[in-house]
Structure 1
Amino acid sequence: MKIVCIGAGPAGLYLAISAKLRDADNDITVIERDPPGATYGWGVVYWDDLLDTLYLNDRESAERIRAASTLWQEQVVSLRGTEHAYISGYGYSMNRAPLLEILADRAAMLGVDIQYERAVEDLSEFSDADLIVVADGANSRTRQQYAYEFGTEVSQGRNPYLWLGTDRVFDKFTFDFEETPQGWIWFHAYPSSAGISTFIVECKEETWYGLGLDQLGADESMRLLEDIFDTPLAGHSLISSSRGKPASWHRFTQVYNETWRHDNVILIGDAAHTTHFTLGSGTRLAISDAVVLAQKLLEREQVATALKEFDLEGHAALRVAQTSARTSMAWFENADRYTDRNAVDFCYAMSSRNSLQPPWRYQQHVLTQHPAARKALRLVNNASRWVQARKRGESRRP
């Protein structure tokens, strides 16, 4: 089968890997507009469910991804840098650039032809392809050309956000909410590589304008944000430049497509659907799309049948995640409604934002704020993590 994949992000590269592993005779080309290593953003976050998928599908790349990842334990939520509350659990994070490098290396090893710095203007140049996979992100130019056929709906979230790095290493997934005369502003931070953490700043539009962040240059914005977050940064610096370009403010792009298929063209990853970054599911969903589509192509004789099943089953499976993501985004767009509470109650409101909770859950949350309870939960989580790692055959590591 001749497959052309547009976009060398996690979705496109992992589709190429997965399809090659299932049939080495597949002729697969991945086409990327940008040069190697050019990527927006700093780190990505994931959990055990993604590692389970990676190890089951391709142990070679899974081992490299796990080795390049950082384990963090607990989430801490801070109000004004002085009040703190905690959420039990653990997760993993890594820089986006090495993730793409690992996937590109693995794809090339399997015989995938990756062509960088090549823009796709018209799909007619791939008339000999059996399948065209569109995986060029939320702002997909290819999808935009066929917006009517896919039934594309794109909308923007209200809150401006800025994706930064910092040389302050956070050992926990950290949220900090600070009050300014112009309103509340906060960050989400987590370790993403040795000596560097990802640092995402978010606020309401009114606060953004009030602080003048719509007018300030990159250096001035960094100085202002370092002053606002002086306490949690503990004297460390923010880093704006990623791959030579300063970070810019965005509003989250919500992408919905009535269908992901048109003729022999299929959308996957963020080109097909997006989930708000506060849910931390984008990479997992992109990888899942790739694996499921590759398996459908193997199991079905007709490409059209494989694409139809992938489309129908994928939409059904994604419904809960997208609903949860919209709810999460809406909560953060109205976070200041909860800031009159103490840190423990504020943290509970944030942690339960995606679903209704039984009354006893709040009491449990209060109990788990005590140091002894937190220590016990960390021991339980460590044991659970060890069992999960052994089950998937993960090499022994901290």
Structure 2
Amino acid sequence: MKVVCVGGGPAGLYLAILLKRQDPAHEITVHERNPEGSTYGWGVTYWRGLLDRLREHDVASARAIEEASVRWHEGVARVGDLTARQRGDEGFGIGRHRLLTLLADRARTLGVRLEYESEIGAPPADADLVVAADGVHSALRAHHAGHFGTEVTTGRNPYIWLGTTKVFDAFTFAFTETGHGWIWAYGYGYGDGHSTCVVECSPETFTGLGLDRADRGEGLALLEKLFAGVLDGHPLIGRDGASWLNFRTLTNRAWHHGNLVLLGDAAHTTHYSIGAGTTLALEDAMCLARALREHGRLPDALAAYERRRRAELLSAQSAARYSARWYENLPRYIHLPPHRMFALLGQRHSPLLPYVPPQLYYGLDKAAGRLEALRRLKRWLGPRAARTLQARSAARRG
């Protein structure tokens, strides 16, 4: 099969790796419009579950990604001068540039052709399969806009994606109160002495602080002052073109048309606050490769891919909607004691939380946790109690 993949991000590169492993005879070319080695963003996050799935599909690339990642086991929430820390799931951070380099090297090793500074505006006519992995503003998707039925919903809060030389030892949330409302940051390390730092606030705080009018240097200086408590004197860094945005949640009515199929952000986006964008893109690639392996006819494979991924994404998309909503309603939670606020921050994906008073929800969640602990204790004690009774019964019979 001749495969043309447009977009050299994680989704496109990983799909090329998987398809080449499934059948070395596939002729696969990845076209990326930017020069090799250039990328936007800083670090990306993922969790242990993704690493396990990567190992199942390609041990070599999974090992390289894990070795190049930093990891953490805790989360930290700093509200003003108060701090709460708690254990959590094992998380990982890796520089986006490093991730793309590792995937590109693996793809080349397998025989994939990579074409950089190569922009494809329309689906090539001579390919058996054309993969649109060219992001939110996909040119290939726009070529059949009427069929795909793209819808975009713009979020309320402005945010900016920055870096810093402060290396966070845990996934860090920092909330700072100003005279114009709260502003907050998410920070996580990703290697090479750097961390990602995403800053977000309400529109009222954004304009009240003058961030809508500040130039790049003035804006960074103000943010460094506001988050001095967590930055420890380290600077915030903005790449060329870094600007405040409002998150765009993208959906499509259809994901494939003829031999053209959407992958990653070209098909769907989820709010950055759940840290799942790269994971979902890589899982798209896994699902599409599996569908192409299991179905002999291309239309059946693309239909199966779309059907399966739509179903798998429901929980992540729901979590992203409620997560974004939690931050948009931050004043509802921010004045709780830090450990309680942090607990509800961890529950922000819950569809019930917006409708239950925060203190009541916290109490109910704690009670449910105690009940689950009791259930686990009963499951652990059950076999042991049974063995003890059996031993006593045997002793009496003896």
Same fold (TM over 0.5): yes
**Does structure 1 residue 109 correspond to structure 2 residue 109?**
yes
**8 Å CA contact 1:17, 1:110 repeated in 2:** yes
Greater relative contact order structure (CA < 8 Å, 6+ sep)? 1
**8 Å CA contact 2:74, 2:85 repeated in 1:** no
Residue of structure 2 in register with 1:361 after alignment? 365
**Does structure 1 residue 330 correspond to structure 2 residue 330?**
no
Deviations for 1:40-85, whole angstroms, at most 9, x for unmatched residues?
1111111111111111111111111001000112111111133434
Which runs of 5 or more structure 2 residues have no equivalent in the other structure? 353-360, 371-398
Deviations for 1:308-358, whole angstroms, at most 9, x for unmatched residues?
111111111111211111111111112122222221221122111112579
Q: Highest Rg: 1 or 2?
A: 2
Return the alpha-carbon distance in structure 1 between the equivalents of residues 8 and 325 of structure 2: 31
> Could you say what secondary structure the match of 2:222 adopts?
helix
Q: Which amino acid aligns with 2:143?
A: Q
Residue of structure 1 in register with 2:49 after alignment? 49
Query: How many angstroms does 1:87 deviate by?
Result: 4.8
Q: Which amino acid aligns with 2:58?
A: D
Residue of structure 2 in register with 1:227 after alignment? 225
Return the alpha-carbon distance in structure 1 between the equivalents of residues 56 and 165 of structure 2: 34
**8 Å CA contact 1:73, 1:171 repeated in 2:** no
Structure 1: which 4+ aligned runs deviate by more than 6 Å? none
Structure 2 vs 1, CA of residues 344 and 184 (structure 1 numbering), >3 Å: closer, same or farther? same
Residue of structure 1 in register with 2:98 after alignment? 98
Q: Which amino acid aligns with 1:46?
A: Y
Structure 2 vs 1, CA of residues 159 and 358 (structure 1 numbering), >3 Å: closer, same or farther? closer
Residue of structure 1 in register with 2:391 after alignment? none
Return the alpha-carbon distance in structure 2 between the equivalents of residues 18 and 41 of structure 1: 25
Q: Which amino acid aligns with 1:252?
A: F
Structure 2 vs 1, CA of residues 364 and 165 (structure 1 numbering), >3 Å: closer, same or farther? farther
Structure 2 vs 1, CA of residues 104 and 293 (structure 1 numbering), >3 Å: closer, same or farther? same
Match of 1:169 among 163, 167, 170: 167
Structure 2 vs 1, CA of residues 364 and 305 (structure 1 numbering), >3 Å: closer, same or farther? closer
Deviations for 1:356-377, whole angstroms, at most 9, x for unmatched residues?
57955336889xxxxxxxxxxx
Query: How many angstroms does 1:111 deviate by?
Result: 1.0
**8 Å CA contact 1:22, 1:295 repeated in 2:** no
Query: How many angstroms does 1:236 deviate by?
Result: 1.3
Query: How many angstroms does 1:4 deviate by?
Result: 0.5
Query: How many angstroms does 1:159 deviate by?
Result: 1.0
> Mapping of 1:189-228 within 5 angstroms?
189-228=187-226
Return the alpha-carbon distance in structure 2 between the equivalents of residues 364 and 319 of structure 1: 25
Deviations for 1:128-175, whole angstroms, at most 9, x for unmatched residues?
111110011122222223222112111211111111111111100000
> Could you say what secondary structure the match of 1:8 adopts?
coil
Residue of structure 1 in register with 2:292 after alignment? 297
Q: Which amino acid aligns with 1:200?
A: V
Return the alpha-carbon distance in structure 2 between the equivalents of residues 150 and 335 of structure 1: 35
> Could you say what secondary structure the match of 2:274 adopts?
coil
> Could you say what secondary structure the match of 1:278 adopts?
helix
Return the alpha-carbon distance in structure 1 between the equivalents of residues 277 and 121 of structure 2: 26
Percent sequence identity over aligned pairs? 46
Return the alpha-carbon distance in structure 2 between the equivalents of residues 327 and 87 of structure 1: 22
> Mapping of 1:1-398 within 5 angstroms?
1-123=1-123, 126-241=124-239, 245-355=240-350, 356=352, 359=363, 361-362=365-366
Residue of structure 2 in register with 1:388 after alignment? none
Deviations for 1:103-144, whole angstroms, at most 9, x for unmatched residues?
011111111111111111222xx1111111001112222222
Q: TM-score, normalised by structure 2?
A: 0.87
Q: Which amino acid aligns with 1:216?
A: A
Alignment: residue pair count? 361
Query: How many angstroms does 1:271 deviate by?
Result: 0.8
Structure 2 vs 1, CA of residues 364 and 70 (structure 1 numbering), >3 Å: closer, same or farther? farther
> Could you say what secondary structure the match of 1:75 adopts?
strand
Return the alpha-carbon distance in structure 2 between the equivalents of residues 295 and 89 of structure 1: 28
**8 Å CA contact 1:83, 1:342 repeated in 2:** no
Return the alpha-carbon distance in structure 1 between the equivalents of residues 60 and 83 of structure 2: 44
Return the alpha-carbon distance in structure 1 between the equivalents of residues 253 and 107 of structure 2: 30
**8 Å CA contact 1:44, 1:96 repeated in 2:** yes
